Structures are given as structure tokens and as C-alpha cells.
Homo-oligomer: A and B are copies of this chain.
Amino acid sequence: MKKKPSLKDIAKEVGVSVPLVSYVLGGKGKENRVSDKTAKKIRDTAKALNYRPNLNARSLKTNRTKTIGVILADISNPFFANLARIIEDEAFSLGYTVIFGSSDENIRKFDRVLELLLTRQVDGLIIAPPEGSKNTISQLKKQNIPFVLIDRYFQDLDYNYIVADNFNASMLATEYLIKKGHKRIATIGYNSSLAHYQDRYNGYVEGLKTNGIEEDANLVKRVSNNKLKADMHEAITHLINVNNATAIYFQTNTLAEEGLRQLIGLEKDILAKIDVVVFDQNSTYHFLQNFVPYIDQPIKKMGYYALKTLIEHINNPDLNTSQLKLPAHLEEEGMRKNN
């Protein structure tokens, strides 16, 4: 690959000094009193040589890379893929480039990806922190690197975060099932200490309580991410065969997908008997015989505010942190979204 043209090459070609070329191409020709004639010559040969500025070199000077790092759990998970896409678009329109990394809910992978992004000199980060990453995150804070947590958060008010209001969303889901007449409402969540999952559980409990239903520990199942199939199988068969659950609230889209698949595997028409509510939309559900109500997270807003907050903090490091819990609503039958 032959060397790419630089300012120097243009300068040589035109017969002027390098800074002059920089001024013109940087749009600061006028204020640096470059003559129109020279400016034109510079612009013309820049085009002729197919010149492209070297953003790395520029970053070195300006100490800004105009790049942000985004660490999500898994970019092939539809929820995160959508989120990624929204962040990408928003960043693009603001002149920022995004580098993604997946943590796979694994601390060590998370740390390595983070390290990589920092070496790449990202101006800031948007992070969906995995379980156990609190320590790393607090290190980040200490180093004064701007970041915004997304989807997940820590109670700590030291950090910026943008999350859905998981607690209320869960209450909505639970109360929907209660209104449908269910008494034995089960819920399946991840075996995780992440605050937003706790919120989902707590919202479920609160939903039951405010409607005078006592929580039954047998109806609360927690499964592990790394043995999803087996745990889910046990959870579902127990709930249905032993504990007489008549409704199930799945706390995430991955749980819902696996759970629904297994439910239908047990009995094709099971959704006629068991009511289900799930967290997160999934185009999947359009194919089920019965519509499955779902919690619709404000992904677009989450992405938008995360980027907005991050950039504000990049531009003004002394800004106070901001915390945002965005309302999520329950999408019920009849309101099928068509886009």
C-alpha cells in the first residue's frame, strides 16, 4: 500500500508551507489570511491527490479522538443490537465514531475490552456493566474518564446512568396478570445481583403486595446464564407441574425466548392456559398463536440520552452526574406495533 498523501505532499506540490495547507483545509484560511488564489490551489491539489486528513495525528494534537467506546453484554442479542444501532446513528450524526465491545457478562472479558478501548484513547464510554464490575467502574471514575452506564446501574450516585424504570415496568407486568384474574403468578429471572434485575424482581413483589397477594417463594425461579436450557427446563416443569402456576412473567428477552420455546415444546397450545408477559419486544412473538404482552423499553431514548449525557460530560468534566430512569410501558394485545 503506497503511502497516503499528507499535508506535506500537498504543500510540496503547491509550493507552500505545511501549516498553510492545514489552515486552508481546516477551514481557517480566511482568519489566517491565506490568499484566495493559494487557497484554491491548495484545495484543488488536495482533491487531486485524494487527500484525507489523518484523524489519529489530529487527535494527538487536539487530545480528542472523537471516538466513544461502547461496551454491551452481547451485540448479537437483539436488545443490544438495537441499542447499538441507535447509539451508532446518534454518534454518527454528532461527528463521533463508536467502537463496540461485548463483555459476555464476563468480568475478565469486560476488563480486557475496557482496557483496549482506553488504549484507543476513546473520549468517553457508554457501558452496560456486567455483574461484579463495580470495582472496575469506580476505577474509571477515579481516573476521571467520562462514562455513562446504560441499561444497568449501580445505586451509587457518583455515576451517570440511563436505565429503564424496571421496578415500575415489573409492577405493570404483574398487575396486568392480576387483572386477568391470576392468583398464582410465577416469575423467572436471572440468578444475578445486578440492580436492574433486582428492581424487576422487587417490582413483581410490589405488584403482588399492593393487590393483596402474598409472595410464594415457589413461584420465583432464578436461572443461570450459562446453563440456561437446563435451568429453564427445571423451572418451567416445576412451576407448571408442581406449583400450579397459571401465569409466568419472564424478566428478560433471552429468558422469554428460551422459556416460550420450552413451554410450546411441552404442549403446543399451552398459551391458551398459561398467560405470559415478557420483558422486551421481540419480533419473534408475532408468530405465536397468541399475542404475548411485553414490556416495551424506551431503547431509542436510552441511546439518545446516554450519548447526550456522555458528550456533555466530555465537554465539561466538572458537570454533576445525572441519573435517569425512563418509563417503560406494557404493550397489551390490540396495540400490536407494526413497524
Interface, chain A (partner B; CB < 8 A): 1-3, 50, 52-57, 59-60, 63, 65, 67, 74-76, 78, 81-82, 84-85, 88-89, 92, 97-102, 113, 115-116, 118-121, 143-146, 229, 257, 260-261, 264, 268, 283-289, 317, 338
Given contacts A97-B116, A99-B97, is CB(A144)–CB(B76) below 8 Å? no
Whole-angstrom distance between the Cβ of A87 and the nearest chain B Cβ:
10
The 8 closest A-B pairs by CB, nearest first: A76-B85, A81-B81, A56-B56, A1-B144, A287-B287, A284-B284, A76-B81, A1-B317
- B100, A98: Cβ atoms closer than 8 Å: yes
Residues of B within 8 A of A88 (CB): 75, 100-102
Oligomeric state, in copies: 2
Given contacts A52-B119, A75-B88, A88-B101, is CB(A261)–CB(B289) below 8 Å? no
Residues of B within 8 A of A2 (CB): 144
Whole-angstrom distance between the Cβ of A265 and the nearest chain B Cβ:
9
Alpha-carbon distance between A92 and B145 when the two chains are bound, in angstroms = 23
Q: Which residue of B lies closest to A104 (CB)?
A: B89
Residues of B within 8 A of A82 (CB): 76
Please give 4 more A-B residue pairs, beta carbons under 8 A apart, in addition to A52-B115, A53-B119, A74-B85.
Answer: A54-B119, A56-B120, A67-B120, A99-B99
Q: Can you give 11 A-B contacts (C-beta < 8 A)?
A: A1-B144, A1-B145, A2-B144, A75-B81, A76-B84, A81-B81, A88-B102, A100-B100, A260-B287, A261-B286, A285-B287
Q: Which residue of B lies closest to A143 (CB)?
A: B50
- B268, A287: Cβ atoms closer than 8 Å: no
Alpha-carbon distance between A101 and B92 when the two chains are bound, in angstroms = 9
- B287, A56: Cβ atoms closer than 8 Å: no
Our pick among B1, B146, B286 for the contact of A1 (Cβ within 8 Å) is B146
Whole-angstrom distance between the Cβ of A291 and the nearest chain B Cβ:
12
Given contacts A76-B81, A115-B52, A146-B1, is CB(A283)–CB(B286) below 8 Å? no
Given contacts A82-B76, A144-B2, is CB(A60)–CB(B52) below 8 Å? no
Residues of B within 8 A of A54 (CB): 60, 119, 121
- B289, A268: Cβ atoms closer than 8 Å: yes
Residues of B within 8 A of A261 (CB): 286-287
Residues of B within 8 A of A65 (CB): 56
Alpha-carbon distance between A143 and B50 when the two chains are bound, in angstroms = 9
Residues of B within 8 A of A260 (CB): 287
Whole-angstrom distance between the Cβ of A60 and the nearest chain B Cβ:
5
Given contacts A2-B144, A81-B81, is CB(A55)–CB(B97) below 8 Å? no
Residues of B within 8 A of A102 (CB): 85, 88-89
Q: Which residue of B lies closest to A85 (CB)?
A: B76
Best-buried of A81, A115, A338 by chain B (most CB within 10 Å): A81
Residues of B within 8 A of A287 (CB): 260-261, 264, 284-285, 287-288
Whole-angstrom distance between the Cβ of A90 and the nearest chain B Cβ:
12
- B55, A121: Cβ atoms closer than 8 Å: yes
